[in-house]
């Protein structure tokens, strides 16, 4: 392990911004901030034309697929673009007739007729509007992805099977199963014209985006859907003049909705089905469009740089108070509740005007994003173009072969069967849920398929909850029963069967590795425990996490993190109990555990010294000097960086008063003292047993750190955490301001030899391989320097220790901060370029001085004789590091700035993908 952080030359511009929590709260699922007027950019116009060219053939094909009037598809596309585009919550999503609703709508038309289907669409829209008002859109995404993808896959398969019959020159059947059964008969009576036109359409769809060379670059901007339909229409006009074509009737005969007639329950089920499928498809598509928008803007988690924005040259030096152009924020994510309301309004309008049900579409939305759309103007304009085409291009539509539209829709259905989603489902062991949903949708319809998928998912979840891993082993005459996972009533039969196999009156340890125990499981364990005690048995109950099994979550203090258990999360604020003078748990024998007495019950435990696994990182709250560190390979102490939520919990530390005898009285300690003592008790109980062997080895062999780390004494800077270091790795020197006094200051009587002594010891005795000077954001020492608290008074020399006319008390802090004056002078000097973070200027003067101070202290470091000698030999490397506390982000000074070959002092962002350290 090396304490060095790898260098990453990523000059992505970033701006100073509010805290992440505030930014997320402001921008999360909100529409664009400018609602005052409707802006139309040139990019939106071109994008709207692209989407229009895709939407027209798609709308006609979907209307043809469901057996609705062809103009109904155009009505849905126009309403989806204009209405949903204006009032929806996803600015870049394009709504229109839905491929996911094809099977549902076709069945409704067959059962109720077209005009009643329009009324059902109105009802579904009203229900969507109600649910959006109740703000339940986010909850809809809680449905298992296996069910969602299974539904889309089943619908896609049904669409493809139905349209295949039309491509072959026939007519689709009433269901997917009937289409499969009728396929042999359809193939026997095939006619060549329609299949050839369909095959040509599919070929153009597949090959159009892959055209090579100059021709491909020229024609590729034309959407593949439009190109396939145009080419198929032209070929059919020449080679098959009698092929079946689109019959777009006059708008005078357009059918409007009528009051529905039929069983109320069946009609309510139909309304709910349309609402559910359309709503889920719209919300999932909105999330997908958000992801595409973020990818187009750059890093999804960072603000996007302004297009054509100013860049900063290496020699650019400007005053700190000069205005700085800030990058604009990335497009905000969709407001899903508003999007659901917008889809509801669009469905109401579409149903009243005799259109197909409307939903957001990932195909149209992704085309809109990739075409460069910047706002909702593109979506609205696309709807206007569709409306104009429906009135002016009726004669053009009449030339389109039906087989070409069917082939287009068939390919849409095939693309809904995603192999990528299938692989994800298999990886998460949800293939049974996925398969049940697909089978239900294909065989019985969308709503039945979704219900079947939900039922299978619930059954599997219950099975996984009830299926526990219970093992029984015997070790040195003592039985060990291990139970993995939460204990519920579903696990009681297996648990009692395992416990019943143990002979009566035995010594046994029961390890309950779960976070929950319900009443049925508690009673089963309690009855067995009482029976064993009555026959002379001795039972110990332990939990691997150290918390009490079955106690409320609030008592577990799960907010504590392994690296800061004693202070920052206030896990020891409770008044500790008096220490127990004699604890029977300490007499339990060689097995580290917690013991239950006969009258305590199985759910009550007393914890002993080493009954839990925890994180060795608990022991390092960031002390001011850390020179006892070394490599910890080969032991459990090797993993000092467990994820949040694992390791030592707050309950461990609070219980330290009970488990660790102490002569100190808690009532005599301050609040901080109680926290410290509680943390020490937690360390002795949980961490010390894990690291004792490794620390004993280091104590015997001596320390051999590879790195000297000079940083600030700020309590927020936890060196072992940010460098992922363990015992034996870092020789740490901490002082106010991470200052390195030049070597000549000690002789002047200023008393600054401590830092120089640590440097000499680390370089000459410990033979460290690298040295890092680490500054951080919000440094109080730098703020004091900027406020002039360390500046010399008039007539007083600048160097400490020389006579002058003091105008203020010469306190130790004042004398120490004077070593930072060269950094202040460097920042004010025009001989040095300003330090930056990944290509941007610092946020303010304090951050600028923090960065400059790191560079200046590295120069002081080079002036030390031992350091200069090792640098000349090539056996030592220097590193500059800046840690932004609020962002939890490290920035490493570029190598060219360290070597003096570069003209700029740039701190590059260290990303999470960096693996191999560059300084080893």
For residue 579, pLDDT over 80 is answered with no
For residue 325, pLDDT over 60 is answered with no
Residue in this structure with the two tokens 């939106």, named with its chain if needed: 44
Position 594 scores a pLDDT of 34
Question: In the 3-class helix/strand/coil scheme, how is 646-690 assigned residue by residue?
Answer: CCCCHHHHHCHHHHCCCCCCHHHCCHHHHHHHHHHHHHHHHHHHH
- Helix/strand/coil for 378: helix
- pLDDT (tens digit per residue) in 225-271: 888 889 999 999 888 888 888 777 666 667 778 887 778 898 999 99
More confident residue, 71 or 445: 71
Position 310 scores a pLDDT of 34
**Distance (Å, rounded) from C-alpha 76 to C-alpha 238?**
32
Position 910 scores a pLDDT of 87
Phi-psi region of 797 (alpha: psi -120 to 50; beta: other; left: phi over 0): beta
Of 108-117, 133-142, 517-526, 851-860, which range is least confident? 133-142
**Rounded mean pLDDT of 855-867?**
92
More confident residue, 401 or 515: 401
N-to-C CA span, the chain: 9
Half-sphere exposure of 461 (CA within 13 A, CB side): 8
606 — phi, psi (to 5°)?
A: -115, 130
pTM of the model: 0.49
Q: Does the CA dihedral 203-205-206-207 come out positive or negative?
A: positive
Residues whose CB is less than 8 angstroms from the CB of residue 703 and which lie 6 or more positions away in sequence, other chains included:
627, 628, 629, 630, 728, 731, 766
Structure tokens at 836: 């930056």
**Rounded mean pLDDT of 157-175?**
82
Residues whose CB is less than 8 angstroms from the CB of residue 364 and which lie 6 or more positions away in sequence, other chains included:
51, 54, 55, 58, 94, 95, 96
Of 178-187, 289-298, 351-360, 492-501, which range is least confident? 289-298
- pLDDT (tens digit per residue) in 770-826: 999 999 999 999 999 888 766 655 544 444 444 444 455 578 888 888 888 999 888
Strand partners, 626: 732
Residues whose CB is less than 8 angstroms from the CB of residue 532 and which lie 6 or more positions away in sequence, other chains included:
502, 504, 505, 506, 508, 539
Structure tokens at 46: 């071109």
- Helix/strand/coil for 597: coil
Position 896 scores a pLDDT of 62
Position 808 scores a pLDDT of 53
For residue 621, pLDDT over 50 is answered with no
pLDDT band at 345 (very low <50, low <70, confident <90, very high): very high
Position 274 scores a pLDDT of 92
pLDDT band at 711 (very low <50, low <70, confident <90, very high): very high
The stretches of 102-144 forming alpha helices (DSSP H) are 102-112, 114-133, 137-140
More confident residue, 189 or 886: 886
- Helix/strand/coil for 706: coil
State the chain's mean pLDDT as an integer: 74
Greatest mean pLDDT range, 540-544, 567-571, 706-710 = 706-710
Residue 891 near residue 908, CB atoms below 8 Å: yes
Residues whose CB is less than 8 angstroms from the CB of residue 854 and which lie 6 or more positions away in sequence, other chains included:
738, 773, 774, 775, 835, 880, 881, 882, 893
Query: Over the Cα atoms of the chain, what is R_g?
Result: 36
Q: What dihedral do alpha carbons 708, 713, 715, 721 form, nearest 10°?
A: -10
pLDDT band at 913 (very low <50, low <70, confident <90, very high): low
**Distance (Å, rounded) from C-alpha 901 to C-alpha 295?**
35
pLDDT above 90 coverage of the chain, percent:
20
For residue 308, pLDDT over 60 is answered with no
Structure tokens at 878: 């220097």
pLDDT band at 544 (very low <50, low <70, confident <90, very high): low
- pLDDT (tens digit per residue) in 821-841: 999 888 888 777 778 887 677
Position 708 scores a pLDDT of 94
Which candidate, 250, 254, 236, places its Cα nearest to that of 400?
236
**Distance (Å, rounded) from C-alpha 450 to C-alpha 905?**
59
**Distance (Å, rounded) from C-alpha 292 to C-alpha 368?**
10
- Helix/strand/coil for 735: strand
pLDDT band at 667 (very low <50, low <70, confident <90, very high): low
**Rounded mean pLDDT of 330-344?**
82
**Distance (Å, rounded) from C-alpha 481 to C-alpha 532?**
14
Count, residues in the chain: 920
**Distance (Å, rounded) from C-alpha 573 to C-alpha 221?**
65
More confident residue, 581 or 720: 720
Phi-psi region of 372 (alpha: psi -120 to 50; beta: other; left: phi over 0): left
Position 430 scores a pLDDT of 85
660-684 burial: b if 16+ Cβ within 10 Å, else e: beeeeebeeeeeeebbbbbbbbbbb
Question: In the 3-class helix/strand/coil scheme, how is 465-491 assigned residue by residue?
Answer: HHCCEEEEEEECCEEEEEEECCECHHH
* CA distance readout (Å), 720 to 299, 677, 728, 729: 28, 21, 11, 9
- Helix/strand/coil for 550: coil
**Rounded mean pLDDT of 143-158?**
81
For residue 550, pLDDT over 70 is answered with no
Which candidate, 78, 74, 81, places its Cα nearest to that of 59?
74
pLDDT above 70 coverage of the chain, percent:
72
The CA-based diameter of the chain, rounded to the nearest angstrom, is 111
Greatest mean pLDDT range, 48-57, 307-316, 395-404, 816-825 = 816-825
**Rounded mean pLDDT of 390-411?**
84
**Distance (Å, rounded) from C-alpha 711 to C-alpha 719?**
8
What DSSP designation does 765 have? Answer: I
- Helix/strand/coil for 549: coil
Which candidate, 779, 725, 738, 745, places its Cα nearest to that of 879?
738
For residue 577, pLDDT over 60 is answered with no
- pLDDT (tens digit per residue) in 2-35: 444 333 444 444 444 444 444 444 444 444 444 4
More confident residue, 316 or 874: 874
Residue 104 near residue 96, CB atoms below 8 Å: no
Residues whose CB is less than 8 angstroms from the CB of residue 80 and which lie 6 or more positions away in sequence, other chains included:
94, 95, 96, 97, 346, 350, 358, 359, 383
Residue 774 near residue 4, CB atoms below 8 Å: no
**Distance (Å, rounded) from C-alpha 472 to C-alpha 484?**
12
Position 203 scores a pLDDT of 93
Residue 246 near residue 397, CB atoms below 8 Å: yes
pLDDT band at 515 (very low <50, low <70, confident <90, very high): low
Position 738 scores a pLDDT of 92
- For the chain, helix, strand, coil in percent to 5 are 50, 10, 40
Position 442 scores a pLDDT of 86
Structure tokens at 917: 């350290």
**Rounded mean pLDDT of 309-313?**
34
Calculate the CA 574 to chain-centre distance: 34
Of 733-737, 740-744, 803-807, 909-913, which range is least confident? 803-807
Position 860 scores a pLDDT of 92
pLDDT band at 423 (very low <50, low <70, confident <90, very high): confident
């Amino acid at each position: 392990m090396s304490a060095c952080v790898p260098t990453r030359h990523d000059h992505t511009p970033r701006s100073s911004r509010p805290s992440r929590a505030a930014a997320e709260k402001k921008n999360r699922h909100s529409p664009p901030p400018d609602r005052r007027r409707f802006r139309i950019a040139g990019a939106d116009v071109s994008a709207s034309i692209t989407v229009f060219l895709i939407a027209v053939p798609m709308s006609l094909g979907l209307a043809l697929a469901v057996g609705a009037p062809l103009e109904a598809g155009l009505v849905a596309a126009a309403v989806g673009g204009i209405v949903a585009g204006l009032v929806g919550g996803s600015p870049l999503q394009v709504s229109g007739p839905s491929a996911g609703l094809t099977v549902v709508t076709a069945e409704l038309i067959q059962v109720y007729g077209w005009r009643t289907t329009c009324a059902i669409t109105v009802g579904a829209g009203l229900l969507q509007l109600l649910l959006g008002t109740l703000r339940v859109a986010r909850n809809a995404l809680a449905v298992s992805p296996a069910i969602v993808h299974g539904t889309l896959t089943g619908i896609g398969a049904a669409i493809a099977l139905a349209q295949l019959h039309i491509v072959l020159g026939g007519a689709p059947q009433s269901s997917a199963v009937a289409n499969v059964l009728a396929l042999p008969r359809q193939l026997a009576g095939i006619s060549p014209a329609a299949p050839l036109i369909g095959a040509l359409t599919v070929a153009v769809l597949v090959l159009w985006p892959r055209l090579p060379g100059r021709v491909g670059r020229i024609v590729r901007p034309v959407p593949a859907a439009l190109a396939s339909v145009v080419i198929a229409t032209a070929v059919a006009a020449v080679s098959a003049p009698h092929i079946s074509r689109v019959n777009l009737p006059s708008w005078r005969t357009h059918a409007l909705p009528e009051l529905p007639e039929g069983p109320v329950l069946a009609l309510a089920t139909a309304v709910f089905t349309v609402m559910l499928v359309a709503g889920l498809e719209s919300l999932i598509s909105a999330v997908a469009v958000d992801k595409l928008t973020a990818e187009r803007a750059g890093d999804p988690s960072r603000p996007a740089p302004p297009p054509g924005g100013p860049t900063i040259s290496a020699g650019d030096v400007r005053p700190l108070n000069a205005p700085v152009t800030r990058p604009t924020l990335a497009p905000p994510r969709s407001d899903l509740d508003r999007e659901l309301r917008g889809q509801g309004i669009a469905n109401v309008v579409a149903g009243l005007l005799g259109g197909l049900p409307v939903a957001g579409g990932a195909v149209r939305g992704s085309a809109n994003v990739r075409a460069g759309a910047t706002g909702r103007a593109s979506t609205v304009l696309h709807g206007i173009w569709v409306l104009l085409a429906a009135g002016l291009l009726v004669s053009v539509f009449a030339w389109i072969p039906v087989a070409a539209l069917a082939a287009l829709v068939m390919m849409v259905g095939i693309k809904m069967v995603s192999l990528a989603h299938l692989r994800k489902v298999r990886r998460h062991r949800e293939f049974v849920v996925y398969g049940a949903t697909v089978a239900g949708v294909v065989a019985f319809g969308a709503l039945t398929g979704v219900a079947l998928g939900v039922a299978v998912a619930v059954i599997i979840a219950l099975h996984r909850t009830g299926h526990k891993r219970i093992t029984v082993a015997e070790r040195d005459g003592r039985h060990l029963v291990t139970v993995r996972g939460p204990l519920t009533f579903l696990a009681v039969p297996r648990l009692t069967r395992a416990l019943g196999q143990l002979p009566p009156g035995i010594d046994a340890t029961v390890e309950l590795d779960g976070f929950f125990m319900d009443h049925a499981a508690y009673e089963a364990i309690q009855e067995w425990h009482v029976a064993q005690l009555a026959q002379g048995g001795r039972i110990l109950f332990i939990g691997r996490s150290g918390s009490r099994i079955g106690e409320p979550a609030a008592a577990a203090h799960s907010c504590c993190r392994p690296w800061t258990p004693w202070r920052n999360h206030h896990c020891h604020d409770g008044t500790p109990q008096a220490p127990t003078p004699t604890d029977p748990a300490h007499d339990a024998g060689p097995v580290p555990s917690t013991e239950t007495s006969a009258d305590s019950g199985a759910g009550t435990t007393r914890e002993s010294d080493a009954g839990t696994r925890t994180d060795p990182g608990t022991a390092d709250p960031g002390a001011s000097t850390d020179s006892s560190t070394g490599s910890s390979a080969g032991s459990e102490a090797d993993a000092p960086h467990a994820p949040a939520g694992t390791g030592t919990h707050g309950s461990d530390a609070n219980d330290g008063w009970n488990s660790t005898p102490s002569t100190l009285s808690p009532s005599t300690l301050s609040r901080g003292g109680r926290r410290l003592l509680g943390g020490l008790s937690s360390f002795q109980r949980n961490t010390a047993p894990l690291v004792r062997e490794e620390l004993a080895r280091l104590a015997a062999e001596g320390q051999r750190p590879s790195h000297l780390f000079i940083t600030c004494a700020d309590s927020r800077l936890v060196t072992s955490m940010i460098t992922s270091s363990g015992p034996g790795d870092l020789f740490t020197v901490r002082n106010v301001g991470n200052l390195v006094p030049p070597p000549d200051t000690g002789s002047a009587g200023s008393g600054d030899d401590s830092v120089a002594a640590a440097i000499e010891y680390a370089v000459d005795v410990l033979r460290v391989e690298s040295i890092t000077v680490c500054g951080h954001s919000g440094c109080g020492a730098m703020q004091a320097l900027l406020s002039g608290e360390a500046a010399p008074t008039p007539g007083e020399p600048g160097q400490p220790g020389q006579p002058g006319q003091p105008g203020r008390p010469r306190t130790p802090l004042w004398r120490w901060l004077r070593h930072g004056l060269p950094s202040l002078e460097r920042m004010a000097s025009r001989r040095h370029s300003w330090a930056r973070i990944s290509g941007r200027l610092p946020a303010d003067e304090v951050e600028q001085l923090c960065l400059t101070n790191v560079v200046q202290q590295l120069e002081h470091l080079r002036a030390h004789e031992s350091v200069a000698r090792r640098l000349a030999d090539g056996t030592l490397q220097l590193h500059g590091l800046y840690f932004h506390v609020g962002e939890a982000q490290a920035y490493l000074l570029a190598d060219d700035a360290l070597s003096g070959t570069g003209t700029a002092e740039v701190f590059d962002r260290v990303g999470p993908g960096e693996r191999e350290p560059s300084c080893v």
